[in-house]
A and B are shown apart, each in its own frame.
Chain A
Amino acid sequence: MEKSFAQPIINVVEYFGKLVEMLGKTIYYIARLAIDWRLTFFQMSSMGINSIPIVFLVVCFTGMIMSLQITEQASRFGTTQYVGGAIAYVMVRELAPVLTAVAMAGRVGSSIASELASMKVSEQIDALRALATNPTQYLVVPRMLALIIMIPAIAVMAGLAGIFSAFFVANTVFGVAWPVFMNYVPRLLDPGDVTAALIKSVVFAIAIALIGCVEGMHAEGGAQGVGRATTNSVVISIVSIFGLNYALSMILFK
């Protein structure tokens, strides 16, 4: 009875230990500049650039929906001059980094987990070690660096796209002009908000890469194990993103 009660706690502690161990090894290799830049650029392209369309879709539609709801109410009270500032404020500080990370967790986190899990169950990771190659250096470092570089960059671009999409709806549906829309943006947003958004994006990138790699490289049990690793990677990444976002918002904005 006691063992079954403690087991979930033990599992969480063990899992956290695996994350910390992998993060430590990755930082070690990055600090020593033991980086395969060819692989890193490849990952930046396949994980980063190829994710731009889906991230833009998610953020732009969110911006448009926000604009639809907020501008409608603002129009009733004659306060449309605040719409742009309000949307930009929420978009930059919260929505762009979080939605970018969630979309990337779904697309890229699952891809990392499934690829590495397939390699694990088919002994390719053992083959790497047998060929005197450290799997963390070869597989994890390029993926983590690629996401650390690309997710903040995509979040910034997506945030801008989200703001423009919001303006598009405010203008076409409610007739809000560009100077009116942008009126309060400089008053509500400051450079610190952009820095905070970039910090959040980097933290989310590390979480997505780490969770995907840990799930993949510890997969067991053939095809079922690969499926489990992929699902776990997405679920744990998304929960982590929201939890980390709350903690980071408290630290960065309070």
Chain B
Amino acid sequence: MKSIETKGLIVSYKKKIVLNGIDLVVNEGEIVSLMGGSGCGKSTLLRTVMGLIPASGGEVYIEERRTDNLSEAKMNETRKIMGMVFQEGALFDSMTVRENVAFALRRHTKMKEKEIREAVRERLEAVGLSGVEEKMPSELSGGMRRRVGIARALALSPKILFYDEPTAGLDPMLTATVVELILKMRERYGTTSVVVTHDIAAAERMSDRVAMIHEGRLILEGTFSDLRSSAHLHIRSFLNSMKTP
């Protein structure tokens, strides 16, 4: 089944076209990396699929049901099977780590408090952060906030996860931890993942396919072999600037 599909997706912001006719398919259980230069529209694509930004044209499908024309209330129902990990974590800074991770469980499930505590402990353990439940986000490092954000996104065991630059600014060990986590989610829960990243090595390690965006258009959708063998000027320039072997 197609987990995510966009057909001719157009997004404009303040009279500027950010995405110009994106056709993308992500199948169930796949991990797809979205790559491209800064400002090319990668995060915008993620947010539009999530319904956080309205599409100006085209269509969006989640599990083969059209979502771009849904009301906010109906879109909220769809969002319960999705999760998003924001670049800086976007943790609720007036809540503890426990309250952040438990947020969706308290609002959308009938779980008892004891069950919620156990679920929170499990999610935090999965991201390698046991024992920080009572800390406030301001007491955490950037990497820790990122991982709490992942734990929070995992709370409802979503079928689809979006990651917005999950490894940006992390050291190699933490990057490897996040990559392993994304792979574990697919292995354990069959989670479909779309990952916005500039890190080619991490993307290659975890992704089944890569999609490259340039000036709002999809210029490549395929495997990493396709990427490395592409003769497209922008792709060659992108790869050379990454200085990968």
Residues of A participating in the B interface, judged by any CB pair closer than 8 Å: 115, 118-119, 122-124, 126-127, 129-134
A124 & B52 in contact (Cβ 8 Å cutoff) = no
Q: CB within 8 A of B107: which of A124, A130, A131?
A: A131
- Chain B 77-117 per-residue mask, 1 if CB under 8 angstroms from chain A, else 0: 10110111011101111100000000110011000000000
A132 & B90 in contact (Cβ 8 Å cutoff) = no
B77 & A127 in contact (Cβ 8 Å cutoff) = no
Instruction: Look across to chain A and name the residue whose beta carbon is closest to the beta carbon of B78.
Output: A132
Bound form: Cα–Cα A129–B54 in Å:
13
Instruction: Look across to chain A and name the residue whose beta carbon is closest to the beta carbon of B155.
Output: A131
Given A124-B92, A126-B47, A127-B92, residue A132 in contact with residue B86 (CB < 8 A): no
Bound form: Cα–Cα A118–B92 in Å:
10
Contacts of B72 in A (CB 8 A): 129, 134
B195 to chain A, nearest CB (A): 16
Q: What 13 additional pairs, Cβ within 8 angstroms, besides A132-B77, A134-B73?
A: A122-B88, A122-B93, A123-B87, A124-B92, A127-B84, A127-B86, A129-B76, A130-B79, A130-B82, A130-B153, A131-B104, A132-B108, A133-B103
Contacts of A119 in B (CB 8 A): 92
Q: CB within 8 A of A123: which of B77, B83, B90, B94?
A: B90
Contacts of B51 in A (CB 8 A): 129
- Chain B 101-137 per-residue mask, 1 if CB under 8 angstroms from chain A, else 0: 0011001100000000000000000000000000000
Which secondary structure dominates where chain B touches chain A? Answer: mixed
Bound form: Cα–Cα A118–B108 in Å:
25
Bound form: Cα–Cα A127–B92 in Å:
8
Bound form: Cα–Cα A165–B103 in Å:
47
A221 to chain B, nearest CB (A): 13
A135 to chain B, nearest CB (A): 10
List CB contacts (< 8 Å) of B131-174 with chain A: 152-153
B92 & A130 in contact (Cβ 8 Å cutoff) = no
User: Chain B CB within 10 Å — which of A115, A122, A132 has the most?
Assistant: A132
Which secondary structure dominates where chain A touches chain B? Answer: helix
- Chain B 21-58 per-residue mask, 1 if CB under 8 angstroms from chain A, else 0: 00000000000000000000000000100111000000
Can you list 14 A-B pairs, Cβ within 8 angstroms, ordered by A? A115-B94, A126-B52, A127-B84, A129-B52, A129-B72, A129-B76, A129-B79, A130-B79, A130-B82, A130-B83, A131-B79, A131-B104, A132-B77, A132-B107
Bound form: Cα–Cα A235–B153 in Å:
38
Number of interface residues of B (CB under 8 A): 27
Bound form: Cα–Cα A127–B83 in Å:
9
B90 & A127 in contact (Cβ 8 Å cutoff) = yes
Bound form: Cα–Cα A130–B88 in Å:
15
Residues of B participating in the A interface, judged by any CB pair closer than 8 Å: 47, 50-52, 72-73, 76-77, 79-80, 82-84, 86-88, 90-94, 103-104, 107-108, 152-153
Bound form: Cα–Cα A131–B76 in Å:
8
Contacts of A132 in B (CB 8 A): 76-77, 79-80, 104, 107-108
B31 to chain A, nearest CB (A): 19
Bound form: Cα–Cα A133–B51 in Å:
13
Contacts of A127 in B (CB 8 A): 84, 86, 90-92
A130 & B84 in contact (Cβ 8 Å cutoff) = yes
Contacts of B153 in A (CB 8 A): 130
Bound form: Cα–Cα A132–B107 in Å:
9
B196 to chain A, nearest CB (A): 14
B84 & A133 in contact (Cβ 8 Å cutoff) = no
Contacts of A130 in B (CB 8 A): 50, 52, 79, 82-84, 86, 153
User: Chain B CB within 10 Å — which of A122, A127, A134 has the most?
Assistant: A127
Q: CB within 8 A of B90: which of A122, A133, A134?
A: A122
Contacts of B83 in A (CB 8 A): 130
Q: CB within 8 A of B93: which of A124, A126, A129?
A: A124
Instruction: Look across to chain A and name the residue whose beta carbon is closest to the beta carbon of B153.
Output: A130
B17 to chain A, nearest CB (A): 20
Instruction: Look across to chain B and name the residue whose beta carbon is closest to the beta carbon of A138.
Output: B107
Contacts of A131 in B (CB 8 A): 79, 103-104, 107, 152
Instruction: Look across to chain B and name the residue whose beta carbon is closest to the beta carbon of A25.
Output: B72
B153 to chain A, nearest CB (A): 8
Bound form: Cα–Cα A147–B82 in Å:
35
